[in-house]
């Protein structure tokens, strides 16, 4: 049984099926899901609903206008920024309950200016050289289950 509570942040997600899959993942792990900024779809979209199946009532979803507002509400929390533009490997970090994992839009990732202001907290999932990126919902699952594993 999973006890730890983590926070998944999707910054301006674009693909409804990914958000639905991530919502289902959050429901199954007890993670909260934060949707930040402009969404590339409506939460009533049939693809979001289909991907999330009947898990929607089991996940806590919070919507925020921007990252600054979100961070101001949780000043004691650690925010990690997932990107392909970092050398900091996610398995080399010690995660703790209450941490936030921020994932950017599928087609462009987290903006450079945000990453530049948070270099020490930008982390990556290693990939074979020459590949652009992993699927968003797969990336969320990889990092979230590592955080859960670390915290028993």
Q: What is the extent of the structural domain holding 71? A: 7-150
Query: What residues contact 130, with CB distance under 8 A and at least 6 apart?
Result: none
Q: How confident is the model at residue 54 (pLDDT cuts 50, 70, 90)?
A: low
| 117 assigned to some structural domain | yes
User: How many domains is the chain built from?
Assistant: 1
CA–CA distance, 50 with 53 (Å, rounded to integer): 5
Does the pLDDT value for residue 82 go beyond 90? yes
Q: Does any domain span residue 112?
A: yes
Band (pLDDT 50/70/90 cuts) for residue 41 is: confident
Element (H, E) at 11: strand 7-11
Nearest to 11 by CA among 32, 31, 39: 39
Q: Is 1 a member of any domain?
A: no
State the Cα–Cα distance between residues 108 and 145, nearest whole angstrom.
Answer: 24
Confidence tier at 6 by pLDDT (50, 70, 90): very high
Largest CA distance in the chain: 40
For residue 94, pLDDT over 90 is answered with yes
The dihedral of CA 142, 47, 26, 77: what is its sign? positive
């Amino acid at each position: 049984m999973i006890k730890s509570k983590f926070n998944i942040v999707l910054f301006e997600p674009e693909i409804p099926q990914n958000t639905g899959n991530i919502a289902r993942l959050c429901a199954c792990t007890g993670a909260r899901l934060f949707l930040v900024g402009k969404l590339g779809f409506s939460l009533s979209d049939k693809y979001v609903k289909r991907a999330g199946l009947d898990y929607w009532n089991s996940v806590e979803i919070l919507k925020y206008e921007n990252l600054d507002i979100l961070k101001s509400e949780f000043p004691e929390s650690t925010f990690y920024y997932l990107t392909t533009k970092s050398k900091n490997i996610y398995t080399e970090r010690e995660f703790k309950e209450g941490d936030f994992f921020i994932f950017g839009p599928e087609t462009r990732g987290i903006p450079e200016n945000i990453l530049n202001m948070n270099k020490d907290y930008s982390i990556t999932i290693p990939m074979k050289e020459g590949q652009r990126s992993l699927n968003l919902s797969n990336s969320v699952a990889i990092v979230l289950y590592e955080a859960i594993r670390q915290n028993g």
